Amino acid sequence: MDTNTIAMLILLGSFFLMLIMRVPIAFALGLSTLFTTWYLDIPLLIVAQQMVKGINSFSLMAIPFFILAGEIMSEGGISKRLIDFSNVLIGRVRGGLAMVNILASMFFGGISGSSVADTSSIGSIMIPMMEKEGYDKDYSINVTITSSTQGVIIPPSHNMIIYSMAAGGISVGKLFLGGMIPGILLGVSLMILSYAIAVKRHYPKGEKISFSDAKKIISESLLGLFTAIIIVGGVLSGIFTATESAAIAAVYAFIITFFVYKDIPFKHMYVILRNSIKTLAIIMAIIATSSAFGWMMAYLKIPTLITQTLIGISSSKLVILLIVNVVLLLLGMIMDMAPLIMIATPILLPVVTAVGMDPIQFGIVMMLNLGIGLITPPVGSTLFVGCSIGGAKIEQIAKSLLPFYLLLFAYLMLITFIPQITLAIPNFFM
């Protein structure tokens, strides 16, 4: 074997071996890059430079603000208010709590941008509530974790910012707008499926809410929802960049939580900052090591090789896009979202653009693929969180998720082969 082939085996082989050994993803990326660098006798300083280059981006400044805003609103009682607000809108139908769960996840996804945060906040309230009202445990967990996948699609999503950087700096604003219709339609689709199951299992209807209570709930909830409006509206109008809107949203979330809602004392800000910094440190470490890993792949011409291989398999757009989706789904089952975006984007984006897919559309397709991975064994972090909250075994929940998996896959095919679903709003406004 030639030197390049051996280097590829060292890079990819050591990386997947460390994943199997459950080495933290940032260390696996960094160490596999170092092993390959040593073999090729490349100065180690280059690896450090690539890591610094990976996080030295103005666009990434939006991520800490998004994380902070999400933590503030999550800890400050917004999830309970969004659940009450959703209950006012749709709680009275058959299986109303499931509808409330999905709608609340849709709203919360527009604030946190995180599937795991969504499940942690909404699930800790909704799963016990649904079980108390007579819903089966598996159904309660299924609805909670599948609806949380909206959080990675509906803007704002810090994963979209990571994708924007990995894709060479495409518009974050267009990505945010591109996720709006797919995210909403996904929520509606999940509501239809959940309603059908609720009717079949004879789940109860919700209770009627008085006009005065509804008015109070709506007024309180709209203050929290305005966080997402600031971000999307600011970017859409051109008043703010994504980074500026994230910073303003964090300040607004702070004011609403501590001076309007007042559900938590000001000293709790220490916990919020600690959690935010912990999350940010993990994300930045992954981005830094992913950048070095991606540079090494480009140096070895792995993306070019994969592109030529996939296009050589078939000239059919249908076949190539199906292969890309299957690859992303499989990788999403074994890897976390942020590093996978950094690694897979430079490899697969040239493939899909070669067959005519828009980078904005591919970004949303990738988000949904990896969102499905978050609720799929063996590494699905959202699945683990949901099962932990609900006190259920993963194998039991994964089996009962089959109807939801089928729906998500069908919807994935829809946004893959009908680009207008994703591109209509960004093309109209930008």
CB neighbours of residue 253 within 10 Å: 26
Q: Name every residue whose Cβ is closer than 8 Å to that of residue 160 and which is 6 or more positions away in sequence.
A: 113, 172, 175, 176, 179, 363, 367
CB 290 within 8 A of CB 343: yes
Give which of 348, 346, 342 is closest to 290, Cα–Cα: 342
Confidence at 241, pLDDT banded by 50, 70, 90: confident
CB 412 within 8 A of CB 369: yes
> Across 244-314, where does the E strand assignment appear?
none
Q: Write out pLDDT tens, residues 31-50.
A: 999 999 999 999 988 889 98
Q: Where are the domains of the chain?
A: 3-429
Res. 98: pLDDT tops 90: no
Return the H-helix or E-strand segment holding 89: helix 78-90
- Say whether pTM exceeds 0.85: no
Q: Write out pLDDT tens, residues 161-198.
A: 889 888 888 888 888 889 989 989 999 999 999 999 98
Q: What amino acid occupies position 159?
A: N
Residue with more model confidence, 116 or 327: 327
Separation CA 143–CA 42 (nearest Å): 50
- The three-point CA angle 405-373-161 to 5° equals 125
